[in-house]
Structure formats: C-alpha cells, structure tokens
Structure 1
Amino acid sequence: MQDCRILITRPEPENTLSRERLHALGLASVPLPMLNIAPIKGPQEQAAIRAQIFDIDQFDYVIFVSKNAARLACDWLDACWPMLPVGVHWIGIGQGTTQTLLEEGVPALSNPGHTTEALLAWLKPAKMTNQKILIVRGAGGRPELGDKLAERGAKVSYLSLYERQKPIYTAQTFFMLPDVHLIWVTSGESLTNLTDYAEQHKPEWKCLPILTPSERVTLQAKEMGWVNARCAQGADDNSLIKATELHIGKQND
C-alpha cells in the first residue's frame, strides 16, 4: 500500500482531512482540489439567507446535499436558533454529510446509500405529498432531487449557501507534481474540471484508475475518456478508502 500515491481532488477543508486519514493508514497522497468552495457573502444574499434560516421551522424536511452545505448551514443555525426547532426532519445525503451534522448537534438521518438517487428511492412517494422541503446546497446545484420531489407532490424550496469555483492552476503546477497512481474524484463537477486540466497538462492520467462516488459519475468519467473509472459507492472517506484497498489488493495479487 505504501507504493500507491493518491491524487485527492476534494475541495478544502475535506482535502486535508482525507489526506490525514490516508496518512494514518500509511498511504501517500497529493492534494489538487478541483473545486473551491466560496461562501455567499453579498449583503443582500446574506439577508435572504438569514430570512430563510429564521423560517426553517416551517419545513417538514431539510435536506443537506454536501458537507459544505451542512457546515455552513450549522453556522447560520447557531446564529439564528439558540435551540433547534422541533418537528423538522433533518437529512444528510451520504454518511459524511450526516456525520458533519451530528457533530454540530443536528439530529440528522442518512438514507441508505450515498447519492441523490438513493435518497429518492428511500423517501416514500406517498409521504411526500404537500410536504414542505428545503434543499440546502451550493448555487446552481443539480436540479434532479427537487424536480423528482416536486413530481411526488412536495413543495420544494432551495437555500444556496456557497458557490463552487474552478481553481486556477498553471502548467507549472502540474510539472511540479510527483507521480500519482490512483485518483479520487468526488463529484461530477470536480471530474469535469479535472478532465479539462488533464487533457491540457497530464493526458497520461486518463489511463490511471480513478475512483468516483456513484455510477452516474463513473459513466460520466468513461464518456470523458477515463478508461479505468470505477465506482466507490460513496463520496465519503470510508467508501473511497475501501475501494482503494480493494484496488491495491488486486494489484498485489
């Protein structure tokens, strides 16, 4: 396992946390975030966010789509609600998001599985009729979850707390990187940015094994020319580490 150097494309601060987990396991890693997370800071936008947070007790379900959504929402909840409102079902998509909420004192549940598709399968359609649902996410996130819930009769609102930005790297960044043997990518948008940079500066990377969080992103990777894309069945560290160990085990057979 010590001979495998892993490229970690998560945004910060998750990138550093993942690398610490890998270091504890004796695995080397290289940080190269493919998304920057920028909290929304405009005065008007923040006033609108504050108003939605004060009204959060009006919702039956609050769904957090990422760790960043959970972390930033908890900061707003702490500022606006000395005690959490009762009667709200708090849900994190994926174990990592849910754990972030639990660590902040939000009694969140997590659906079986790690994806939007798994959450839709878990939420019973009959119980969604006329339910008020708030989806906490980054600006311009995937519309599928809200659209599908609305089709089931739910009344869906959105709360956008951050923007995802493509990091700016130069050719020198890639020239200075050490060799890597495996890549972690944790979202479709990160994959798109990584593909763009790889095609410019590291075309050989597209022959490396690349672990993705879901079958959807695996298919996306293959369509983009990543010949060794494999699904880790989750974007959390545990899922990716398990898939990494499985890969290394096969390499050593």
Structure 2
Amino acid sequence: MQDCHILITRPEPENSLSCERISAHGWTAIPLPMLDIVAIEEAAQKAVIRAQVFNIDTFDYVLFVSKNAARLAGDWLDACWPMLPANVHWIGIGQGTTQALIEEGIPAISNPGQTTEALLEWLKPVKMKDQKILIVRGEGGRPELGNKLQERGANVSYLSLYERRKPRYSAQTFFMLPDIHLIWVTSGESLDNLSEYVTQHKPEWKTLPILTPSARVNQQAKEMGWINASCANGADDNSLIKATEFHIGKQND
C-alpha cells in the first residue's frame, strides 16, 4: 500500500496543494475536484459586496467558513480597507481557514476544532446576545451556524463572495482514471457530487475507503451507501494525511 492512489476531490487551488503534500509522502495523488469555486462577478452583486465590506467595522465578529472565503475576502479588504478596523474579532473555522486569513494579513484566531459544530461548542461561554456577527461564505451555504447564533441572541448577517458549482465530467473521465485505493472528500456538497458521478460511472467505488472531514459528513456518506467511510476529524491536509497513514498502517498489519 506504499504506492497508494488517492483521489482528491477538493476544489482548486487547494486540490493542487493537497496533491503536492500527498506526493511528498510517496503516495500518488489523483486530482478530481468535485466543486468549482467561482467568484461573484455580476456588477450589481459586486456593488452589494463592496458596500458590506465598507461597513465591516460595524460588526463585533466576522466568521469565515472556508479558505475560499478567506482568500476572496482578503482581496476585498485590501481594496476597501488600507488598514483593518481594530475593533473586529476575526475568526476562521478550522486551522486551514485561519492560516489562510493570516496569510492574507487578517489577524484571525480559530476555535480548537475544525467544524461549524466545534465552533458553536467553543462559543458557548461567549455572550452572543446583541452581538453583530458577519458570516463570510459562498452563496447558499449551510444555515446552521447562523441559526444557532441567532438563537443565542446574536444579530447575524451574511457576506457571500462566491458560488459553488458541480464540475462537468464525462463517463470517459472516470474510465481513464487509474485504480483508486482511497478517497478524500472534504465537504458534504463535494460528497453529493461525487456520489452522483460514482452511481453513474463507478458504482464499485462505494466499497473503497473514503475519508470524510466530520462526523456529520461521515454519517452522510454511510447513508449514501459508502460502506467504508471513516472520519478524519478535519478537512485540512494534516488531518487527512494522519487518517491516511492510519488506514495504510491497518492495511499493512
């Protein structure tokens, strides 16, 4: 299993970065993104985004749900704020998102876990009542975080910077792939798209080991017929590599 072929379903540019990490471990990375991230470019929507970014100093907390949200927000903040407002608490969900924010020059902190659920647990002691919170995300993101914060009395707004689209692949794309030994999936939406394609073109893949980022997505995978789903407890490369090493170690025993 040293020459392990790992299917990487992250969107770009993270997919290429993960493939480099995998190659450095002596494994073979097979890139097949299951989400396309497309920055919002429509003029009226960009005008709304610009107005929201100019008002970002009115928020107590700004939460970023993904590396894509962090990267695109960095561009907007550079354009609108030569110096960041000092009164805002910047928070990334997961270590990867937080690191992306820091690389953008945003002094973010992170909850100890890697998921929305972990962030909500971490925020329990914080007085959320009447706090103004901005959630930076893609269009149509999961509503759970905002709903739970509103239940605690927070005033929640959203800043949507990108769209998530299902990539288009033909049957030939799947038939041309080499044998796959293990699959990384890093979000529920990526899992949905992968499962649709697999049902059509590679139903035997449902028996392969698949690593998921959270208990929620792992349960989703099992309900969709993935019989060998395991939770990596994080969507970042380090968590997935650790889970991959554990899986390979079990195979070699």
1:125 touches 1:152 (CA, 8 Å); kept in 2?
A: no
1:252 alignment partner in structure 2: 252
1:63 touches 1:136 (CA, 8 Å); kept in 2?
A: yes
2:8 touches 2:30 (CA, 8 Å); kept in 1?
A: yes
Q: Give distance in 2, aligned partners of 1:239 and 1:87.
A: 32
Residue 125 of structure 1: how far off its partner (Å): 5.2
CA deviation digits over 1:125-156, x for unaligned, max 9? 55100000000000000000000000000000
2:187 touches 2:217 (CA, 8 Å); kept in 1?
A: yes
2:238 alignment partner in structure 1: 238
Residue 212 of structure 1: how far off its partner (Å): 0.2
Residue 225 of structure 1: how far off its partner (Å): 0.1
Q: Give distance in 2, aligned partners of 1:144 and 1:125.
A: 18
Q: Give distance in 2, aligned partners of 1:187 and 1:124.
A: 24
Q: Give distance in 2, aligned partners of 1:54 and 1:196.
A: 40
CA deviation digits over 1:159-202, x for unaligned, max 9? 00000000000011001100110000000000000000000000
Note if 1:173 corresponds to 2:193: no
1:189 alignment partner in structure 2: 189
Q: How does 1:20-59 map to 2 (within 5 A)?
A: 20-59=20-59
**Partner secondary structure for residue 183 of structure 2:** strand
2:3 touches 2:26 (CA, 8 Å); kept in 1?
A: no
Percent identical pairs in the alignment equals 77
Q: Give distance in 2, aligned partners of 1:15 and 1:21.
A: 10
Whichever residue aligns with residue 177 of structure 1, its letter is: L
1:126 touches 1:152 (CA, 8 Å); kept in 2?
A: no
Corresponding residue pairs, total: 253
1:5 alignment partner in structure 2: 5
* TM-score after normalising by structure 1: 0.99
Q: Give distance in 1, aligned partners of 2:76 and 2:59.
A: 16
CA deviation digits over 1:218-252, x for unaligned, max 9? 00000000000000000000000000000001100
2:103 alignment partner in structure 1: 103
Q: Give distance in 1, aligned partners of 2:229 and 2:28.
A: 20
2:87 alignment partner in structure 1: 87
**Partner secondary structure for residue 128 of structure 1:** coil
Whichever residue aligns with residue 177 of structure 2, its letter is: L
1:158 alignment partner in structure 2: 158
2:141 alignment partner in structure 1: 141
Q: Give distance in 2, aligned partners of 1:188 and 1:57.
A: 32
1:217 alignment partner in structure 2: 217
Note if 1:201 corresponds to 2:201: yes
* Runs of 5+ consecutive residues of structure 1 not aligned to the other structure: none
Whichever residue aligns with residue 231 of structure 2, its letter is: C
CA deviation digits over 1:22-81, x for unaligned, max 9? 111111110000000010000000000000000000000000000000000000000110
Q: Give distance in 2, aligned partners of 1:25 and 1:73.
A: 32
Q: How does 1:120-139 map to 2 (within 5 A)?
A: 120-124=120-124, 127-139=127-139
1:61 touches 1:133 (CA, 8 Å); kept in 2?
A: yes
Q: Give distance in 1, aligned partners of 2:126 and 2:85.
A: 25
Q: Which range is displaced more, 141-150 or 103-112?
A: 103-112
Q: Give distance in 2, aligned partners of 1:89 and 1:77.
A: 15
**Partner secondary structure for residue 16 of structure 1:** helix
Residue 103 of structure 1: how far off its partner (Å): 1.0
Q: CA RMSD in A?
A: 0.7
1:128 touches 1:153 (CA, 8 Å); kept in 2?
A: yes
* TM-score after normalising by structure 2: 0.99
